Structure 1
Amino acid sequence: MKNLRFEDLESRLAEFAAARDWDPFHSPKNLAMALAAEAGELLEQFQWLTEEQSTRLTDERRTAVALELADIQLYLVRLAARLDIDLVSTAHRKIDLNAEKYPVEKSRGHARKYNEL
């Protein structure tokens, strides 16, 4: 599949859910819970790995991680759509807010939280 755009994902996902009559089950609460469950499945892929191992995944593990990330993205996109949230513009806004909380001159080179800068 070439020329895939993020914008097309929301409509394709909505069509997928509608064809299966899943809209009644896709409440924000249920989607948020499913999103959390999928995040747990992603964590499972890294459980017991060393820091080094987590940066050099086997092809099999990398594929499993990619599929878990896709599950997370799908639930996130569906949840945002159900709540009428423009996820891309909101993500850009959040980066701007984080830039204010974490100015380069104070946060460069360490992982302290904004209230510890």
Structure 2
Amino acid sequence: MSQGKAQETQVPDDKQEMEKKSQPEYQSDTNATSQETLNSCNCGDNCVAIDDGASNCNDDGSFCFTNTATANLEYLRKMTEQFMKDRNWHQFNSPRNVLLALVGEVGELAEIFQWKGEVTEGLPELSQAERDHVGQEVSDVLFYLIDFASRCHIDIPTAVASKMAANSLKYPVDKAYGKSNKYTDYK
């Protein structure tokens, strides 16, 4: 991926509102305020970088992204689109080629963890260089995933909301809570 400065791209407010209205909302199976939780990390001034590079948003130690100004998929899609346009790479990037590149990047990410044994949340077992490498590979995976979805005309937020609604039916809380069984076991 590029290390150059990405161009800022703003989506007009009226388009954002229109997109918000057209996207199905995931409804949590629990009594938690799911939509508020999904729309922001609600961490305010509690989001602080910890020495090991993790972000601690809340007193409970839950994680959230800190760069919320650019933490939306449309911004990232436009950034990747511009990156490719600037290099005239669209000619090489059919959905098949992008998918294969995505799989390759997932392999590079997996390679970091190969032979490490189990690692815990926050990756304290990894060196800072290894954690930085994980971040770079996750970025590559996300870049290719967004590009693949764009080339296939798949609206990721809509697809995720639809999939989460389907998963709620496959894994009802009263049957699946605390279990890792396959969904066919809950019928």
Question: Do Structure 1 and Structure 2 share a fold, with TM-score over 0.5?
Answer: yes
Q: Please point out which of 34, 43, 62 is paired with 2:101.
A: 34
1:22-72, Cα deviation, whole Å (9 max, x unpaired)? 101110000000011111111111111121467423222111111111100
The structure that is helix-richer by fraction is 1
Q: How does 1:11-50 map to 2 (within 5 A)?
A: 11-50=78-117
Q: Give the number of the structure whose alpha-carbon radius of gyration is greater.
A: 2
Q: How does 1:31-110 map to 2 (within 5 A)?
A: 31-52=98-119, 55-56=123-124, 57-110=126-179
Return the alpha-carbon distance in structure 2 between the equivalents of residues 76 and 95 of structure 1. 18
Return the alpha-carbon distance in structure 2 between the equivalents of residues 52 and 68 of structure 1. 17
Q: 1:4 maps to which residue?
A: 70
Range moving further from structure 2, 42-51 or 56-65: 56-65
Return the alpha-carbon distance in structure 1 between the equivalents of residues 71 and 89 of structure 2. 24
- Alpha carbons of 1:109 and 1:53: their partners in 2 closer, same or farther (altered >3 Å)? closer
RMSD (Å) for aligned C-alpha atoms: 1.8
Range moving further from structure 2, 3-12 or 46-55: 46-55
Relative contact order, higher structure (CA 8 A, sep 6+) = 1
Return the alpha-carbon distance in structure 2 between the equivalents of residues 40 and 83 of structure 1. 22
* TM-score normalized by the length of structure 1: 0.90
- Alpha carbons of 1:103 and 1:53: their partners in 2 closer, same or farther (altered >3 Å)? closer
Return the alpha-carbon distance in structure 2 between the equivalents of residues 73 and 52 of structure 1. 22
AA partner of residue 112 (structure 1): N
Identical-residue share of aligned pairs (%): 35
Q: 1:113 maps to which residue?
A: 182
Return the alpha-carbon distance in structure 2 between the equivalents of residues 34 and 71 of structure 1. 9
Query: Structure 1 unaligned runs (5+)?
Result: none
Return the alpha-carbon distance in structure 1 between the equivalents of residues 139 and 119 of structure 2. 24
